[in-house]
Amino acid sequence: MSLNHVRPWRDIYRRKSRQIMVGNVPVGDDAPIAVQTMTNTLTTDVAATVAQVQAAAEAGADIVRVSVPDEASSKALKEIVRESPVPIVADIHFHYRRGIEAAEAGAACLRINPGNIGDEARVKEVIKAARDHNCSIRIGVNAGSLEKHLLEKYGEPCPEAMVESGLEHIRILQDNDFHEFKISVKASDVFLSAAAYQGIAEATDAPIHLGITEAGGLVSGTIKSAIGLGNLLWMGIGDTIRVSLSADPVEEVKVGFEILKSLGLRHRGVNIISCPSCARQGFDVIKTVETLERRLEHIKTPMSLSIIGCVVNGPGEALMTDVGFTGGGAGSGMVYLAGKASHKMSNEQMIDHIVEQVENKAAELDAAAEAAE
Ligand code: SF4
């Protein structure tokens, strides 16, 4: 549950799940909801892939997935794992041998797709490799690649077929006494995904990896993911998330965090509250926010900043933020610190000044957190 007991209308009761480890990252139960992304470089291009993994980790990714389509990628994976600051999940399709190789190469988790990994005997071999190398498994059901017998039984991809596919594979893992697994039931359709996730959440206590697959470009995919994942998270479903965008993985991480931040499920960096601006604005709100977002990217401490064009909403919003700026007349505005009006500042110097104030506040909060440990 989020820490909002004084405001019960903000409480989210997370579904109770088992906890597993993906490398050194706990997933499930009361662990923070992990943010994941996936590289889109050629895995065999180790330098490019490692650079992308590092950029994603810097943006806040807890776990990064890498495709392993061929044997050369399995070899490259070993080096990528060695260089990566976060646990690596190996994405396996069609070739169960790649799963075995990825476990041997040090992957923290294997994502296997029940629809295309092969028969039970092959899955058993992958399970053995995972166990031998301390690797967890994600059962990644996808509406677009369900097993033939389920499509014949149900006629089309539907929530029941997706849940049944997931449960069949859970049974194989459990029959092999393997319990370090999480599960996803993704579809590109928000309704299908949401129904399948609700079904699987009731049917198992395994941690759940959330995602709306092939969600689209930066804007459309963000909206689809925010609606699909947002509703499920609000219901308490989801232990790790990936926002799938046809965009840079760093954008996926940013969007993932923003979804979690807007539900109070995780906090990272500066939460900027800003008005859309209008004729009343005392300074250029849009340009200022764009610049501040860029200049405050390095701040990881959770804190809030309000940038409001005028006194209609400025003082009220500033009351609830760590640092605030409200536009005024004659080329200057009011700086608020800890909810209180502090001093005036000219519009020209305001950006540098706000960056400094935020950096000071972050250092203060970090020192207080360290002292409390
Ligand atoms: S806070 Fe002021 S400037 Fe911003 S949108 Fe509202 S009225 Fe306009």
Model pLDDT for residues 33-43, shown as the tens digit of each residue: 999 999 999 99
**pLDDT > 90 in the chain, percent:** 88
Instruction: For residue 119, name the pLDDT band (cuts at 50, 70, 90).
Output: confident
d(CA 194, CA 199): 9
Q: How far is the CA of 286 from the centre of ligand 1 (A)?
A: 12
Shortest-distance atom of ligand 1 to CA 276: 5
**pLDDT of 123 higher than 90:** no
**Residue 181's closest CA among 204, 156, 214, 215?**
204
Q: Is the pTM of this model over 0.85?
A: yes
Counting from 1 in the atom list of ligand 1, the atom nearest the Cα of 327 is 3
**Ligand 1 atom at minimal distance to the Cα of residue 281:** 3
pLDDT value of position 1: 47
Note the pLDDT of residue 216: 85
Please say if the pLDDT value at position 342 is more than 90: yes
The pLDDT assigned to 286 comes to: 97
Q: Phi and psi at residue 110, in whole multiples of 5°?
A: -110, 125
Q: How many angstroms separate the CA atoms of 155 and 259, rounded?
A: 34
Rounded to whole angstroms, how far apart are CA atoms 58 and 346?
33
**What's the pLDDT band for 5 if we cut at 50, 70, 90?**
low
Q: Which residues approach ligand 1 with their CB closer than 6 A?
A: 275-278, 280-281, 308-310, 312-313
284-290 long-range CB contacts below 8 Å, 24 or more apart?
285/309, 285/327, 288/350, 288/351
User: What are the pLDDT digits (tens) for 260-319?
Assistant: 999 999 988 999 999 999 999 999 999 999 999 999 999 999 999 999 999 998 899 999
Please report the pLDDT score of residue 94 as a whole number: 87
pLDDT bin (cut points 50, 70, 90) of residue 2 is: very low
Q: Is 320 exposed, middle or buried (0-12, 13-18, 19+ CB in 10 A)?
A: exposed
Buried b (16+ CB within 10 A) or exposed e, 253-280: bbbbbbbbeebebbbbbbbebbbebeee
Confidence tier at 118 by pLDDT (50, 70, 90): confident
Pocket test for ligand 1, best of 274, 306, 313, 317 (most atoms within 8 A of CB): 313
Question: Where does the pLDDT of residue 4 fall: very low under 50, low under 70, confident under 90, or very high at 90 and above?
Answer: low
Residue 133 has pLDDT above 90, yes or no: yes
∠18-19-25 over CA atoms, to 5°? 160
